[in-house]
Structure 1
């Protein structure tokens, strides 16, 4: 059975999708962009954007009773690979060494609201 996961501590969906869905113990989190859920405004600069995206992902994970330790897969979309090192350092700071998820990082020509980074994740209940 599918359960929709939603929290006010992450940006509300801006289209026909859910923040996340839990199905058979697997949490599928929609791509998060750097919107501050308290203000509804975008944060700017790759450092601030990456921190906000990770905070948004953390909020969705917590709403589902999970944490970054439960993440098995991440998909990262960057507007420019020139931002990879900065994003990667910040991304890693939210994770525990030895339990890193599988991941791909790709450069794309454009992201929603013209942000620099979007990250989606898949997590599994233990």
Structure 2
């Protein structure tokens, strides 16, 4: 197996379990799911679904930059939401962080997410 490099950013929330923020293998970086935690306080952002989604993408951005890339390098996203009725808002927020050509994406409805948040996003970068 290729060498694994652990990616860490102090500008993203610390892992809240036995996992890394991201792992690089070759030119691919596998970013763990980010929830709307403020990295400084480790508190959940609760103002609105939009605010939660913005925080999630800010966290992903920080991890991507720690890996030596940016969100422009994202090739695949998986988005998890207990309420798929928020899908349009996710699209609106994503357009602030991504431009065409957009990454591949899946959106999945789930029963619940860690800490009761409304959105979680994981991604893969190609550097």
TM range (shorter): over 0.9
What is the deviation of 1:104? 0.4
| 1:36 and 2:38 are equivalent in the alignment | yes
What is the deviation of 1:95? 0.3
TM normalised by structure 2 equals: 0.95
Correspondence list, 1:52-71, <5 A: 52-71=55-74
Find 2:14's aligned residue among 7, 12, 15.
Answer: 12
Q: CA RMSD in A?
A: 0.7
Deviations 1:74-103 (A, max 9, x none): 00001101111112110121002x221000
What is the deviation of 1:69? 1.1
Structure 2: distance between partners of 1:78 and 1:40: 20
Correspondence for 1:79: 82
Structure 2 residues without counterparts, runs of 5 or longer? none
Aligned residues: 124
Asked whether the equivalents of residues 69 and 99 of structure 1 are also in contact (C-alpha less than 8 Å), the reply is no
Runs of 4+ in 1 over 2 A off after TM superposition: none
